[in-house]
Amino acid sequence: MNGLFANTIIQVIFAGLTIGAVYSLVAVGFSIVYMGTRAINFMQGEYVMIGGVVAGSAYEVWNLPVPACLALAAGAGVLAGVISEAITVRWMRRPSPSGITVATVGLAVVLKAIVMIATDRKTFAFPPFTGDTPIKIGGAALLPQTLWNLGIVVAAAVLLTLFFRYTRAGVTIRASADDAETAKAMGVSLITTVRQSFILAAVLGTIAGASLTPITLISFNSGTLLGLKGFSAAVLGGLGNMYGALASGLIIGLVESIGAGFISSLYSNVIAFAVLLFVLFVKPAGILAKQQGWDHEKK
């Protein structure tokens, strides 16, 4: 193996981790809403798109500094979370996991259409958070944005752990995910926990979007495929399993990047979904599950 080849491998791994970090955040968003509602929130990919579009337009149109753009993206996430929960759960006559899932699909279609009309199909760019001078590691170049994205994933893991373990809101979300009836009997407001999980998922999504936009341009159309890939990661990690989702996002990013670099860049988009099918057929409860989960859904 010569040095050039080693450098290519390192480069491909860096690229995979950068995009994988985004999949991780999306996947963890799917898991959090799944914990709260047992529904699959198809808005998750659109949160990424909103994050990218809001951060990008705040930067390009209003010339705001990068941290302010990030704050705006996070704020848009809170708003998007509140709206999605209100429409898909609160307005539903008899909320059920499948009903909520189907409603989020409809809402995603509507939101995409609104952004398409509002932005006139424009694509948005956003600068790397701290410049783009690469850090030399041997012969390979590491972009600062890669470090940022990985840092965000680590920070998300730490903060989410603290949140779910030590705050009242986090504990009640976990309790109602575990046993909704008992939690309700203990005085937990399920409506509040569901709303909190939507907000959390949406903010993670918009932050993911803002950290993706420095790598690739974002438009109204970018969310769906990202969301579906993040969903594949969530299933790979086991739906509802936070750490599984975080790890699987990075795995999917890496596999995709290696596939694109060494096999075929045309088929790289297919990889995430091939992984999804493989996991569902072989181990549907996810890679971190202890037992086979064929009847996981039936309990």
Partner 1 sequence: MKKNNILIFIGFAAFLILAPVISPDQYITSVFVSFCIKIILLTGLNVILGFAGQMSMAHAGFYGLGAYTAGILAVKLSLPPLLALIAAPVAVALVAFVLGLPSLRLHGNYFGMATLGAGMVLYLVFGAARNITGGPNGLMGIPAFSLAGHPFSLKEIYLVIACFALLGLLCINNLSRSHMGFALRALSVSEDGAASVGIDAFRLKLSAFVVSGVFAGFAGGFQTFQSRFITPETFAFFPTVLMIIAIVLGGGGTQWGPVIGALLLTVADELLAVYPDLKPLILGSVFILIVLRFPGGIIGTLGTYMAQRQEKEDPAS
| Binding footprint of partner 1 on the chain (CB under 8 A) | 40, 87-88, 91-94, 97-99, 101-103, 105-107, 109-110, 112-114, 116-117, 224-225, 228, 231-232, 235, 264, 266-267, 269-270, 273-274, 276-277, 280-281, 284, 294-298
Identify which of residues 114 and 159 has a Cβ nearer to partner 1 in the complex. 114
Identify which of residues 94 and 168 has a Cβ nearer to partner 1 in the complex. 94
Identify which of residues 132 and 295 has a Cβ nearer to partner 1 in the complex. 295
Q: How far is the CB of 156 from partner 1 (least distance, A)?
A: 24
Q: How far is the CB of 219 from partner 1 (least distance, A)?
A: 14
Identify which of residues 46 and 124 has a Cβ nearer to partner 1 in the complex. 46
Q: How far is the CB of 32 from partner 1 (least distance, A)?
A: 16
Helices 44-60, 97-119: inter-axial angle, 10-degree rounding: 20
Q: How far is the CB of 16 from partner 1 (least distance, A)?
A: 18
Identify which of residues 87 and 147 has a Cβ nearer to partner 1 in the complex. 87
Identify which of residues 7 and 216 has a Cβ nearer to partner 1 in the complex. 216
Helices 190-212, 168-178: inter-axial angle, 10-degree rounding: 110
Contact 7, 140 (CB under 8 A): yes
Q: How far is the CB of 20 from partner 1 (least distance, A)?
A: 18
Contact 194, 36 (CB under 8 A): yes
Q: How far is the CB of 136 from partner 1 (least distance, A)?
A: 34
